[in-house]
Amino acid sequence: MTSCRWPKNFLEVPQELVRTALDLELADGAVIADMVGAKRCVFLAGLYRAERGIAERLLQLGTGALPWPWIDPDKAVPWIAGLPRPPRSLTLPRPPPPTPTSACVCTGAWAPAPSRSALPFSGADP
């Protein structure tokens, strides 16, 4: 890369070192040089390829060539409206009450499990 321009001491390393490192990265394929308008730019290879792939896909979608067949909205909307709706809320079962044999470990010492009345739970008892 021969036409690098940046302010003197921009990276606080000699420009020749930066040019050498950039040339090695370009040769290795870790970065890719491309033009953005009239400006030369360097991109990380993985991000460059990902952005190019996204741009190409968006251009394909913009041409009207969709990867699925045409869907007739006059048939699709009533069909979707007739599907069962998911529940708005879930009803979870109450946890089982603690047994006298259940215990918890607190700082390495055994302690009995809390009583049922000490458990944080809202709702009526069964």
- Distance of alpha carbon 125 from alpha carbon 95, whole angstroms: 11
Local mean pLDDT, 10-residue blocks, the chain (126 residues): 59 84 94 93 95 90 78 89 77 74 49 49 46
pLDDT at position 126 is 44
Structure tokens at 5: 């321009």
Domain boundaries, the chain: 1-67
pLDDT at position 52 is 94
pTM value is: 0.45
Whether the CA torsion 7, 8, 9, 15 is positive or negative: it is positive
pLDDT at position 97 is 76
pLDDT at position 14 is 83
